Structure 1
Amino acid sequence: MGKFSTLLRATGLAVTVAMPAMPALAQDAKTVMATVNGTDITLGHMIALQERLPEQYKQLEDAVLFEGILDQLIQQTALSQEMEKDLSGAIELSKENEIRAFLAGELLAKIGTADLDESAIQDAYKARYAEGEPETEFSASHILVETEEEAKELVTLLEGDVDFAELAKEKSTGPSGPSGGSLGWFGKGAMVPEFEQAVVALEDGAVSEPVQTQFGWHVIKRNESRIKEAPALDDVRDEIERELRAKAIDDEINRLTDAADVTRVEVAVDPTAIRNVGLLSK
């Protein structure tokens, strides 16, 4: 069991449990695999634990994995039984929170992995791409300098028919300088707001006045613009499915919370009490 170390094995301890003989091909989840102080550990318990293991453990040989999981459950049972003998108030409350969080998480996982209706996917795609407002893309270049004065000088030079790309290669301090200041094609949201606003306001082929951003001062040329083509459904299917699943989860959270009979007790409590761990021992 070297590959499947547990807390007890790491500390050199061991648990010995007498195990009854079992059928060689037990397939029933209710089949008892071990009993620890009267508490049964079944094949179902083992399978459920296996499902939640990190992937590296799932790659172990079946026999190694089987014995490791059984050892783990035996050890956990023995430890939990000992702790149950003297549970503090803090642990009782944490236990309730863990159970609540676990069950809520299981429900959300169930909702989030449920099959999606293909028509819902198609409708979401149409709403975003086929029926939504067309998105414009821009091709722009810029020259980045440190001061407004430098930027104004660049504008003056460009008004005198100096080639923008050559001037960018010579003057720009930005990483796009060596390529003539070209930033390629980009859509809204790809650039910092001040830069984007300047590009949107320009006509194709026009050059801006100096524009300041967090990076310095820019002189921007909007080379071209175009309407972005809608991607194929298969190219964005995963993204749409993620969004639909996230919405389904949010909708169910809101539905169940709104439908619940919730009463917030009107009692005066100092908000600083939330950090008073000492209250748990009273």
Structure 2
Amino acid sequence: MILVREGLPEQYRNLPNEQLFDGILEQLIQQTLLADLIGDTDSREIRLTLENDRRLMKASQAVEELSAQAIGEDEIAASYDARYADADMGMEYDASHILVETEEAAVNLIDKLQAGADFVELAKEFSTGPSGPGGGALGWFGLGMMVPPFEAAVVTMEKGAISSPVKTDFGWHVIKLNDTRAISAPALGEVRSEIIAELQRTAIEGQIEELRQQATINRTPVDDIGVAVISQSELMSE
């Protein structure tokens, strides 16, 4: 009954045992009655299926045991350092923009800004983009988050600078770069579970390779059997 319950879809496994007990018991009774029709002689298909299930369960148990082996703090720290100690995490940019329909309108806005006009007020008055009411502020963003022409302009700008008109599919942009910052590496606690999973995966792959080197593996040449054999289910009953 335990195995049947464990094999149920999650939404059923979460039901109280009181709701599951009778149904599981009845399922086992029906299976036993039907199995008795076959008797004790297993067909080739049953034998092969049981052999495959046994192999799968033992392999799964081996993976669980390897995964359960303690990963030392030194290993975790070393893996974290290898990932992030000297890694260039890239830059983030804080920019604002004013979106207008024509290049001429963008040039006129740049002239106003050079004459001392306030960027925020111009964005509120003239920008056709959704950020206009907020003064054109886009907040912080990294590479790949903006369309290529916009990004290409931003990465070449100095802090506080105003761009030349930038054309995208949305229209013409006047961009102000407010600030930049280097992206910080995540804290160890944020990626700890990910690192442990990677170390476990590496340990399992290493164990498999070690076993492979020690084993004698006989492969039947593909040309002798043909790749189509894996779909010939009728062979199970021969």
State the shift of 1:222 in Å.
Answer: 1.2
State the shift of 1:201 in Å.
Answer: 1.6
Secondary structure, in 3 states, of the residue corresponding to 1:57?
Answer: helix
Partner of 1:47: 2
Aligned pairs for 1:1-282 (under 5 A) are 46-76=1-31, 115-133=70-88, 135-213=90-168, 215-245=170-200, 251=205, 255=209, 261=217, 263=219, 265=221, 267=223
* Bigger helix share: 2
Give the TM-score normalised by structure 1.
Answer: 0.58
**Residues 126 and 132, structure 1, Cα contact 8 Å, conserved in 2:** no
State the shift of 1:75 in Å.
Answer: 3.5
Change (3 A) 1:69 1:140: same
* Larger deviation, residues 168-177 vs 226-235: 226-235
The gaps in structure 2 that reach 5 residues or longer are none
Secondary structure, in 3 states, of the residue corresponding to 1:201?
Answer: coil
State the shift of 1:189 in Å.
Answer: 4.0
Between the aligned partners of 1:203 and 1:95, the Cα distance in structure 2 is 68
State the shift of 1:96 in Å.
Answer: 8.6
State the shift of 1:221 in Å.
Answer: 1.6
Higher relative contact order (CA 8 A, sep 6+): 2
- The AA in structure 1 aligned to 2:2 is I
Q: Deviations over 1:220-273 (max 9, x none)?
A: 221111234444322332343445455556x459838975847584549999x7
**Residues 129 and 230, structure 1, Cα contact 8 Å, conserved in 2:** yes
Between the aligned partners of 2:43 and 2:219, the Cα distance in structure 1 is 29
State the shift of 1:204 in Å.
Answer: 0.8
Secondary structure, in 3 states, of the residue corresponding to 2:176?
Answer: strand
- The AA in structure 1 aligned to 2:133 is P
Between the aligned partners of 1:269 and 1:170, the Cα distance in structure 2 is 75
- The AA in structure 2 aligned to 1:167 is L
**Residues 143 and 174, structure 1, Cα contact 8 Å, conserved in 2:** yes
Change (3 A) 1:114 1:188: farther
State the shift of 1:87 in Å.
Answer: 8.3
Between the aligned partners of 2:68 and 2:102, the Cα distance in structure 1 is 54
State the shift of 1:203 in Å.
Answer: 1.0
Between the aligned partners of 1:74 and 1:139, the Cα distance in structure 2 is 67
Give the TM-score normalised by structure 2.
Answer: 0.66
Change (3 A) 1:225 1:47: same
Between the aligned partners of 2:111 and 2:184, the Cα distance in structure 1 is 37
- The AA in structure 2 aligned to 1:174 is G
Between the aligned partners of 1:258 and 1:113, the Cα distance in structure 2 is 22
Please report the RMSD computed on the Cα atoms of aligned residues, expressed in angstroms.
Answer: 4.5
